[in-house]
C-alpha cells in the first residue's frame, strides 16, 4: 500500500520526527510516481526578489494556485518539502484553504475543461508545531503516513480516509535504497526479538515483600474458622435471646420530667403549631 499512496489522490500527509526522517521517503515516492518533474525552489528566493523567469509571482501559494489553472488532462502529483516551512511563513488557515482547493477540485472554478487527478504529498515535521496546526492538516488529509520504527527498521503507519467508507489503517515496513528506490519488507521477525537467557533464573517479584502472599494449611483453616465481629451467627442470636444462668438482668426506670409531653392525643402540643 505504501508504494501506491499517490494513486489514491487527495492530500497525503507524511509526518516524520527527529528520530525518523521522512525526506528520503518523500523522494522515493516522487521517483516512483513521476514521469516528468517540474521543480520550484522557494528556499533560495522565497519572496522573488531576484525577479527570475522561473519564479512564480505569489510565491509558494502562487505555484499551488497555478495548478488549478492548468489545462493538462493528465494526473499531477505535487510534492511539498515541506509543509512545516509553509506553516512557519503563512497563516495556517490560508495554507489549508490552498491545499483544499488543489486536492479537492477536479476543475477550475468557472472552467468546464476536465483535468486529471491531483495528489498532494506534503512532508510535515510535526515536532515543530503545536496541536492546532497539526490537527488542522490531519483533518484535511485523505491519507496520513506516520513514520516510526524499531531496532533501526523504519515503519509507516498508514491511515486512509475515503468518503462513505470506513477508515482503514495498516503498518508497512520499508527501507530506502541509495538510489531512492522503495524496498518493502516484512515486519521484525521473532528471532530478532530479545529472548531470556535459559541459564539465568527468572526473578521472583515476591521474594523481597514485607508481607506473605501465601498461606499454609493451618493458617488457612484458622482464617476459615474465624468469626468476624460484624457476622451475626446463630450462636450470637441464641445468646441474646436466652440469657445464661446467673446472668444479671437489667431494668430501665424512667421518671417523667416536668417538660415531658405525655398527651397521646396531641404529642406536638408543646411546639405551638
Instruction: Kindly report, residue by residue over 38-66, the tens digit of the pLDDT.
Output: 666 666 666 666 666 555 566 677 777 77
Say what the pLDDT of residue 269 is.
Answer: 66
* The model's pTM: 0.59
Q: Which residue in 61, 60, 2 sits closest to 28, CA to CA? A: 2
Q: Which residue in 65, 101, 61, 104 sits closest to 83, CA to CA? A: 61
- Residue 191 pLDDT exceeds 60: no
Cis, peptide link before residue 82, omega less than 30° from 0: yes
Write down the H helix ranges in the chain: 23-33, 59-68, 83-89, 92-104, 131-140, 217-225, 234-241
| Residue with the three cell numbers 515486519 | 187
State the Cα–Cα distance between residues 152 and 168, nearest whole angstrom: 26
Q: What is the mean pLDDT of residues 123-151?
A: 89
Say what the pLDDT of residue 190 is.
Answer: 44
Collapsing DSSP states into helix, strand and coil, what is residue 271? Answer: helix
Q: How many CA atoms lie within 13 A of 55 on its CB side?
A: 14
Distance of CA 27 to the CA centre of its chain: 27
State the Cα–Cα distance between residues 110 and 71, nearest whole angstrom: 13
Distance of CA 132 to the CA centre of its chain: 15
Say what the pLDDT of residue 147 is.
Answer: 92
Q: Length of the chain in residues, anyone?
A: 273
State the Cα–Cα distance between residues 154 and 23, nearest whole angstrom: 13
Q: Which residue in 179, 147, 176 sits closest to 21, CA to CA? A: 147
Chain-wide mean pLDDT for the chain?
76
Q: How many CB atoms lie within 10 A of CB 29?
A: 25
- Strand ranges, E, within 113-228: 118-125, 143-150, 153-160, 168-176, 182-185
Say what the pLDDT of residue 188 is.
Answer: 61
Q: How many CB atoms lie within 10 A of CB 148?
A: 15
What tens digit of pLDDT does each residue of 192-241 get? Answer: 344 444 556 677 777 777 877 788 899 889 888 887 777 777 777 777 77
Considering only CA atoms, give the Rg of the chain.
39
State the Cα–Cα distance between residues 14 and 122, nearest whole angstrom: 6
What tens digit of pLDDT does each residue of 155-190 get? Answer: 899 998 888 888 888 888 988 888 888 888 876 654
Order of strands, sheet of 118-125, starting from the edge strand that comes earlier in the sequence: 76-80, 118-125, 10-16, 143-150, 153-160, 168-176, 182-185
107 band by pLDDT with thresholds 50, 70 and 90: very low
Strands 118-125 and 168-176, by their bridges, are unpaired
What tens digit of pLDDT does each residue of 70-101 get? Answer: 656 677 788 888 888 888 888 899 888 888 88
The answer to whether the beta carbons of residues 158 and 50 sit under 8 Å apart is: no
Burial 224-248 (b: 16+ CB within 10 A, else e): eeeeeeeeeeeeeeeeeeeeeeeee
Say what the pLDDT of residue 15 is.
Answer: 92
Q: What is the mean pLDDT of residues 239-252?
A: 69
Amino acid at each position: 500500500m505504501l508504494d501506491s499512496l499517490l494513486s489514491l489522490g487527495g492530500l497525503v500527509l507524511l509526518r516524520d520526527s527527529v528520530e525518523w526522517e521522512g525526506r528520503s521517503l518523500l523522494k522515493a515516492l516522487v521517483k516512483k510516481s513521476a514521469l516528468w518533474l517540474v521543480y520550484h525552489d522557494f528556499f533560495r528566493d522565497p519572496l522573488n526578489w531576484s525577479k527570475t523567469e522561473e519564479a512564480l509571482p505569489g510565491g509558494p501559494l502562487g505555484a499551488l494556485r497555478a495548478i488549478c489553472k492548468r489545462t493538462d488532462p493528465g494526473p499531477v502529483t505535487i510534492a511539498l518539502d515541506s509543509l512545516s516551512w509553509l506553516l512557519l511563513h503563512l497563516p495556517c488557515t490560508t495554507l489549508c484553504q490552498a491545499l483544499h482547493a488543489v486536492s479537492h477540485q477536479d476543475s477550475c472554478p468557472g472552467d468546464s475543461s476536465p483535468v486529471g487527478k491531483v495528489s498532494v504529498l506534503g512532508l510535515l515535521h510535526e515536532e515543530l508545531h503545536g496541536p492546532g496546526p497539526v490537527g488542522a492538516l490531519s483533518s484535511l488529509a485523505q491519507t496520513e503516513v506516520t513514520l516510526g520504527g524499531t531496532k533501526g527498521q523504519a515503519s509507516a503507519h498508514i491511515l486512509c480516509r475515503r468518503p462513505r467508507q470506513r477508515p482503514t489503517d495498516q503498518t508497512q515496513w520499508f527501507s530506502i535504497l541509495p538510489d531512492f528506490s522503495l524496498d518493502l519488507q516484512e515486519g521484525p521477525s521473532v528471532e530478532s526479538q530479545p529472548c531470556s537467557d535459559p541459564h539465568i533464573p527468572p526473578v521472583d517479584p515476591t521474594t523481597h515483600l514485607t508481607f506473605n502472599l501465601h498461606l499454609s494449611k493451618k493458617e488457612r483453616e484458622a482464617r476459615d474458622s474465624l468469626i468476624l465481629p460484624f457476622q451475626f451467627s446463630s450462636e450470637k442470636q441464641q445468646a441474646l435471646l436466652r440469657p445464661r444462668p446467673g446472668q444479671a438482668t437489667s431494668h430501665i426506670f424512667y421518671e417523667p420530667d416536668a417538660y415531658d409531653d405525655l398527651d397521646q392525643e396531641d404529642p406536638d402540643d408543646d411546639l405551638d403549631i
